[in-house]
Chain A
Amino acid sequence: MTLSYQMDLISPADDVWSVTRLTTTVKRMVEGEIPALWVRGEVTGCKTYPSGHCYFTLRDTMCQVRCCLWKRDMPRAGKPPADGTDVYVLVRPGFYEVKGEFQLNVQRILPSSAVGRAQQELERVKALLQKDGLFDAARKRPMPPLAGTLAVVTSTAGAALRDMITVARRRWPSARVLVVNARVQGEGAVEALVRALRLVNRLPGVDVCIVGRGGGAREDLAAFNAEAVCRALADVRVPTISAVGHETDISLTDLVADLRAPTPSAAAELALPDQGAVRRALDDLASRLGNGLGSRARLGLERVDRAGDRLDAAMDALLDRHRHQVARLSAQLDALSPLRVLDRGYAVPTDPAGRVLKRRADFLPGTPFTLRVVDGRVAARAEPPAE
């Protein structure tokens, strides 16, 4: 009785979901809502099938979840782990609707012991480089204001290079970009980066060196934490920019380089001048050049004017002085002129030779002489002295 009552209540026949509808809905929810994420757990039941796909279970003390490592993902993901291994897996959550099973599609596998080792190695190298002063602020060189030639150490296959070239073309098309190809991840990346950085020192005329790559998973960026790469970067003779495309982590190359850029594009922005700014600087210089000459010419004219004025004044003063002297001298001359004396009724006696007769003895009785008076001469004769 009770059972049929309940059945009646919960069986509105027109609202029954098919299994397919349910599983596809769950699949959509799972795959649409949950992003790619890292999960840590212990591997059990790992088995690779003839198809090349590998399946295992990931578990912790309470729960477990099915994992699939697809054959196509295997080259990037890493080796299938042995049972009992503690791992980090990067997964995209999925739902296998055929079996109605929740599962994780594995993108990457990292044994946690390796992660621990990698972290330890990172700390070791960091401490070493710090001790050697490679992170010192005093070592940091400024970027040249107008870099003409960039050396770029990166993979020619990566998007990072294309991004940098796009920025360079827009920002400073006068630039030259010298690309030194290097593997940036996986086997041989460290050696390739070191070789490329050393090669930069052999390139003439380089103004700035950028080393970098686009974004990637943490272990993809390992080469940029390698001691050899860091030391090679520190040895680059021109200012350096490290541009390892990740937002949260810092690579050791970021600490060694003179400048750190969040992305390769940003590195190109930092390295190269902006042609708009340079054009404005040229306009500014052009107007200052014109003003400079104008003011210089004006100054020259003013100087000529001033010199003329001073010359005039000097001449005036000179003439004045001379005029005074002439006046004074003529007054003196005037005062001394014998004619002035004659004017007052004096006369000057001279003998026929023109000598002035000044004393009694000069006058011999009966001797003729001449008297010079104001308006001419008078003939005269000395009388014998009266007794």
Chain B
Amino acid sequence: MTTIAEDLARLEEIVRKLEADDVELDAALALFEEGVARLRAARERLAAADLKVQSVLEEAGGDLRLKDLDA
């Protein structure tokens, strides 16, 4: 799964390519479709976002364990 940061970076890249004029029409259509999908994914992810707070615990052996914190 991509992160919103990755989606935004890829969207920037897609838009720049589309705005650059030297892309073939077929490629432009493919880019556009990918852009729309990325936009939708990023928006859905923003809408569904719920802050996750976890406490980092170090076990006796040195291993790290994450435990959800009620905050």
Residues of chain A having any CB pair with chain B under 8 Å: 144-146, 148, 151, 156, 161-162, 165, 168-169, 172-181, 199, 202-203, 275, 278-279, 281-282, 285-286, 288-289, 291-293, 295-297, 299-300
A300–B21 Cα distance when bound, in Å, is 9
Residues of chain B at interface, number, CB under 8 A? 38
Is there an interface contact between B58 and A199, defined as CB atoms closer than 8 Å? yes
B60 adjacent to chain A (CB < 8 Å): no
Instruction: Please give the distance in Å from B56's CB to the nearest CB on chain A.
Output: 5
A180–B8 Cα distance when bound, in Å, is 29
Is there an interface contact between A289 and B5, defined as CB atoms closer than 8 Å? no
A161–B55 Cα distance when bound, in Å, is 11
CB within 8 Å for A286 and B39 given contacts A148-B5, A296-B18: yes
Instruction: Please give the distance in Å from B17's CB to the nearest CB on chain A.
Output: 8
Is there an interface contact between A178 and B56, defined as CB atoms closer than 8 Å? yes
Instruction: Please give the distance in Å from A331's CB to the nearest CB on chain B.
Output: 49
Most buried by B among A144, A180, A288: A288
Checking B25, B36, B46, B53 against A177 with a beta-carbon cut-off of 8 angstroms, the contacting residue is B53
Is there an interface contact between B45 and A289, defined as CB atoms closer than 8 Å? no
Is there an interface contact between A285 and B53, defined as CB atoms closer than 8 Å? no
Is there an interface contact between B64 and A203, defined as CB atoms closer than 8 Å? yes
Apart from A165-B71, A179-B56, 15 more pairs, CB < 8 Å? A146-B4, A146-B5, A146-B8, A174-B46, A175-B51, A177-B71, A179-B69, A199-B64, A278-B4, A285-B11, A285-B35, A289-B15, A293-B31, A296-B23, A300-B25
Most buried by B among A145, A162, A202, A293: A293
A172–B3 Cα distance when bound, in Å, is 13
